[in-house]
Amino acid sequence: MAPRIILGDAGAGQIFRISRPGKNVLNASQDDLMFDGYNPMLQMVHRGVVRIPVAKGSYVEVNTIDQGYWPLIHLAGGWAYTVGIHYLSNSTFRIGYFDDSFVSGSPVAVSYIVTNQRFG
């Protein structure tokens, strides 16, 4: 099994990297890394707030900058139900309710931050 995590001194400074399953972190390309703490720090690319009607299958579609990959997205809010993300492309995603545990309620505000890090 290939080593997948490296944490320590990389000569020019500290390094923390995690490779994808089956990829050796010691010689992995950028595409083979799930996380690369040696690259520029986590940065915000786009942010916003959406209001999602609380109903089974409700969602809001969001367009953002195409970075050539699915970006890591952080969600925040005071919702009582499961809110998730569904990627449609590198620049479009949905924030919504993707479970069947409720029927309806008042619209909920969800804040999102799109980062420069790759999802997955």
Could you tell me if 27 and 77 lie in one domain? Answer: no
Could you tell me if 58 and 29 lie in one domain? Answer: no
Domain that holds residue 66: 44-118
Could you tell me if 49 and 28 lie in one domain? Answer: no
* pLDDT reported for residue 87: 96
* pLDDT reported for residue 82: 76
- pLDDT higher for 80 or 50? 50
Could you tell me if 55 and 22 lie in one domain? Answer: no
Could you tell me if 61 and 103 lie in one domain? Answer: yes
Could you tell me if 31 and 51 lie in one domain? Answer: no
* pLDDT reported for residue 35: 78
What average pLDDT is seen over the chain? 82
Q: Which residues of 67-99 are buried (b: 16+ CB within 10 A; e: fewer)?
A: beebbbbeeeeeeeeebebeeeeebebbbbbbe
* pLDDT reported for residue 98: 73
Could you tell me if 107 and 55 lie in one domain? Answer: yes
- pLDDT higher for 5 or 71? 71
Condensed to tens digits (0 to 9), the pLDDT of residues 5-49 reads 888 765 666 778 888 889 998 888 888 887 777 665 677 889 999
d(CA 3, CA 111): 36
Could you tell me if 50 and 31 lie in one domain? Answer: no
Could you tell me if 49 and 96 lie in one domain? Answer: yes
**Share of residues in the chain with pLDDT > 70 (%):** 83
Q: Is the pLDDT of residue 84 over 90?
A: no
Our count of domains for the chain comes to: 2
Q: Are 96 and 52 in contact (CB under 8 A)?
A: yes
